[in-house]
Amino acid sequence: MHYHKIVFFSSLKNFSIKLILVKLIQMVFIVYLVCSCSNINKKEEELKISYNSDEYISIYNAGRSPIEFKVLPNNKDFSSLDNIVSYIKDKAKEFPEKPLEICAWEFVYNNTFHDKDIVIDDWTRTTMPELILSSVGGGLCGTRSAVLTNILVALGYKARSWCIEGHVVTEVFSDGRWKVLDPDSGVYFFNDEKQIASYKELCDNPQWFNDTARCVFIDSSESKVSETYMYYAIYAHCFSSVEDNRVFYTNFDYKLENENIYFLPEGAELIMPWENSERGKFYLCAKLIIPSNYKGKIKIPLVLDKIEGKGKIKFNKKRYEIDGCMTNFGDFNLMLGNFSIIENHGMEFYFFINPQLFFEKEINNIIIKSSDIKELDVEKVKRGEDEVLLLPHFKKLLMNIFYNMLEEYAQNHNIEIFDSSDKTIKYLCDTCCNLYFSKPIQLIDTLKDLDIMEQKYFFNQLEYFIQNKCDCKNE
Cα separations in angstroms, 124 against 55, 147, 228, 248, 334: 35, 11, 28, 11, 10
Domain range annotation of the chain: 1-41, 45-75+260-382, 81-248, 392-474
Q: How far apart are CA 31 and CA 41, in angstroms?
A: 15
The domain over range 81-248 is classified in CATH as 3.40.50: no
Contact call for residues 78 and 87 (beta carbons, < 8 A): yes
DSSP state of 449: G
Task: Report pLDDT for 9.
Answer: 42
Res 389: pLDDT: 84
From CA 63, how far away is CA 316, in angstroms rounded? Answer: 29
User: Are the beta carbons of 303 and 327 closer than 8 angstroms?
Assistant: no
**Which pLDDT belongs to residue 327?**
73
Cα dihedral 334, 335, 341, 342 sign? negative
* Residue 404 buriedness (CB in 10 A; 0-12 / 13-18 / 19+): middle
Residue 313 and residue 302 in contact, taking contact as beta carbons nearer than 8 Å: no
* 241: three-class secondary structure by DSSP: coil
Would you give per-residue pLDDT tens digits along the chain (475 residues)?
Answer: 554 444 444 554 555 665 666 566 667 666 555 554 444 556 889 999 999 988 999 999 999 999 999 999 999 999 999 999 999 999 999 999 999 999 999 999 999 998 888 875 555 566 789 989 999 999 989 999 999 999 999 999 999 999 987 789 999 999 999 999 999 989 999 999 999 999 999 999 999 988 888 988 887 665 455 555 556 667 788 888 888 889 988 876 555 556 789 999 999 999 999 998 888 888 999 999 999 989 999 999 998 899 999 999 988 778 889 898 877 655 555 566 678 999 999 999 999 999 999 999 889 999 999 999 999 999 999 998 778 788 887 666 555 555 555 555 556 655 454 444 444 444 445 545 555 555 555 555 555 555 444 555 555 555 555 565 555 544 4
Max CA pair span of the chain: 129
What is the model's pLDDT at position 44? Answer: 86
Give me the pLDDT at residue 447, please: 55
Among residues 12, 22, 62, which one has the least CA distance to residue 373?
Answer: 62
Contact 396, 221 (CB under 8 A): yes
* Helix orientation angle between 141-154 and 100-111, rounded to the nearest 10 degrees: 140
Q: What is the pLDDT of residue 170?
A: 97
pTM exceeds 0.85, yes or no: no
Residue 3's SS3 state is helix
- Residue 193: its H or E element: none
